[in-house]
Chain A
Amino acid sequence: MVDPVIWDIGYLVSAAMFILGIKRLSSPRTAPQGNRLGAYGMLLAVLVTLVKMYTEGIIGYELIVGGLAIGSVIGYVMATRVEMTEMPELVALFNGFGGGASALVGLSEVLKRLQNSNIPEPGVELYATWVAIGLSGIVGWVTLTGSLMAMGKLRGGFYIPFTKKDDRGRRKWVNFPTWGPQWLNIVKGSILLACISLIVLTVQEPENYGYIYSLVILSCILGVLFVIPIGGADMPVVVSLLNSMSGIAAAFTGFVIGNNVLIIAGSMVGAAGLILTFIMCKAMNRTLIAVLFTSFGGGGRELVTRTKVGSDPEEVAMVCDGIAKCVIIPGYGMAVSQAQHAVKEFADLLEAQGVEVFYGIHPVAGRMPGHMNVLLAEASVPYEQLIEMDEINSELPETDVALVIGANDTINPVARTGEGPLGGMPIIDADKARVVVIIKRSLSVGYAGVDNNLFFEDKTMMLFGDGKKMMNELNGAIKEL
């Protein structure tokens, strides 16, 4: 007989590996090592669990082996096939799976106990276990449905199958809905209260299946309602918060099955996700409360009535000839059109002429923190050229050309007036450069639904079109000069 303490030691080592893993993930030099450490820690935890189950007697291998195999194959295929631009959606989806798994473990545990009439006498065990199951359920289901909603919003919408293709070979596109009148907050609050009351009720009457299933359904609805009023621009914050919640769900599941490694890893991820969430809110100069409970962006788009004559790539190429300093400001549009390689080529062309080139990275550009950095890294842009917002803003008044590609809200000067939805959000001062070139599909508003005056200024040159296509044309024009 193996001393059961060995399992706890194994889990302790695995928890230590998670701690070191997360620690190392926060520094560029050690990050790949940190990720591997986390993966080995997970492998160790799984092996310890399997060996423990083996020595205690496995009564059926089918589900264990089948589940591990199916999950590994699906995870491997998804991770291998993902494009860099789809990364945020995939992280949101994985996150939802994590939360859903925790919720299902709790549900499975409670059903098993009811099946075997293994309900503890009223006392610490009953209260603690049932409350933990209830909480892991609420948090887990909300994480699952909320993450699925967030994934849809990050995508922006979906193509309807079997509709006629347009000239770009795309089918009919439907935007993901953003909807949230103020009274919805009262509904959300009531559902949350109802969920908590249901936990209290299950503790008093543990055999009642009705309470358990009502809790599942209400939590799922809560997750949907939680994300539906939040606009696409705020999705990074939401995904980060959901990431935190999937950790908390795992920690509660740890209480359910009485396992410390779940509690440690889960609560650590919960805290880490929350820190990231606050970092992002700070970058947008918004409070978490405002992001979550005041519907913003997506809806109520203003109609653009003013017009601006677009420039052509040849004109821009001539403006770029003989300049000393250029700052490239990327946004989500660069990600969508996969223009990062074309942007890098543009930078190389200018550098060959002795132009200083930097990239101005807004902390919330794109749909995930660090989204732009990862994309530009893919195009092998040197790390030293990626400059954060505060630093680049001191450079912009001496910049000849600011090239904005697919960004809008993060360079909108209206934010400095302190009014409207963007009021007070720190921006990159693209308008301070001598010439501003903006590559964008149209004059339409960004996610915040606010008009951008910079588009209409005299020193602004608009290149209307798909980011990658326009960049390539611009590169061609520069080469011809």
Chain B
Amino acid sequence: MLTMATLVASITVFVLAIFLGFELISKVPPTLHTPLMSGANAISGITIVGALILSNAQFNSGDPGFASWLAFIALIMATINVVGGFMVTNKMLEMIAGKKRRGGN
């Protein structure tokens, strides 16, 4: 049950996290702009949690219902976002790291 108190608590978390986000990445070298965007994008795939919860549905004679199919599509999209996002970010960062190793000596 959602009450006024829990709603205000959630909004507090929301506002504080926004300030946190602003402070977190105020200084980033341009090299890391693309990986950062891609990594942050993968983290926004956290909506996968919601998709999982709503995908919990029973097949009534082979059909879980339209709403559950939507959740299923959401789950696929969120998983692509998460898995692909972290992998692509890792791929980019490996290249930068490789370059740094060679450049350091």
Contact = CB atoms under 8 A, between A and B. Distances in A.
A53 B56 contact: yes
Chief secondary structure at chain A's binding surface: helix
Contacts of B14: 251, 254-255, 263, 267
Most buried by A among B13, B82, B91, B92: B82
B67 A115 contact: yes
Interface centre among A53, A98, A383 (most CB of B within 10 A): A98
A243 B44 contact: yes
A261 B34 contact: no
A349 interface: no
Interface in A172-214: none
Given A98-B78, A260-B13, A59 B56 contact: yes
A249 B57 contact: no
B32 to A, nearest CB: 6
Interface string A41-67: 110011001100100001110111011
Nearest to B34: A370
A249 B21 contact: no
Interface string B52-84: 111111110000111110111111111111111
Contact of B54 (A28, A97, A108): A108
B97 to A, nearest CB: 6
A66 B74 CA distance: 12
A258 interface: yes
Contacts of B66: 111
Given A32-B94, A76-B84, A91-B41, A59 B54 contact: no
Interface stretch (A217-225, A268-276, A305-313, A437-445): A268-276
A267 B44 CA distance: 9
Contact of B53 (A53, A94, A386): A53
A249 to B, nearest CB: 7
A374 B31 contact: yes
B63 to A, nearest CB: 11
Interface in B26-56: 26-56
A268 B41 contact: no
Given A32-B90, A124-B3, A257 B10 contact: no
For B20, B50, B70, which residue has the most chain A Cβ atoms within 10 angstroms? B50
Chain A CB within 10 Å, residue with most, of B34, B89, B98 = B34
Contacts of A87: 34, 38, 88, 92
A75 B100 CA distance: 28
A240 interface: yes
Nearest to A373: B31
A38 B65 contact: no
A79 B10 contact: no
B99 to A, nearest CB: 4
Contacts of A53: 52-53, 56
A454 interface: no
Interface in A258-317: 258-276, 279-280
B40 A273 contact: yes
A105 B50 contact: yes
Contact of B56 (A41, A58, A258): A58
A247 B90 CA distance: 20
A10 B74 CA distance: 23
A280 B36 CA distance: 14
Contacts of B50: 102, 105, 109, 253-254, 256-257, 259, 262
Contacts of A262: 46-47, 49-50
Interface of B: 1-4, 6-7, 10, 13-15, 17-22, 24-59, 64-68, 70-100, 102-103
25 contacts: A22-B40, A25-B36, A25-B39, A28-B96, A53-B56, A60-B58, A67-B79, A75-B80, A75-B85, A94-B84, A95-B41, A95-B81, A105-B51, A239-B37, A240-B37, A250-B45, A258-B10, A269-B40, A269-B44, A272-B25, A279-B28, A370-B31, A374-B92, A374-B95, A377-B31
Interface of A: 18-19, 21-23, 25-28, 31-32, 34-36, 38-39, 41-42, 45-46, 49-50, 53, 58-60, 62-64, 66-68, 70-72, 74-76, 78-80, 82, 84, 87-88, 90-91, 94-95, 97-98, 100-102, 104-105, 107-109, 111-112, 115, 120, 124-125, 128-129, 239-240, 243, 246-247, 249-251, 253-276, 279-280, 361, 363, 368-371, 373-374, 376-378, 380-384, 386, 388
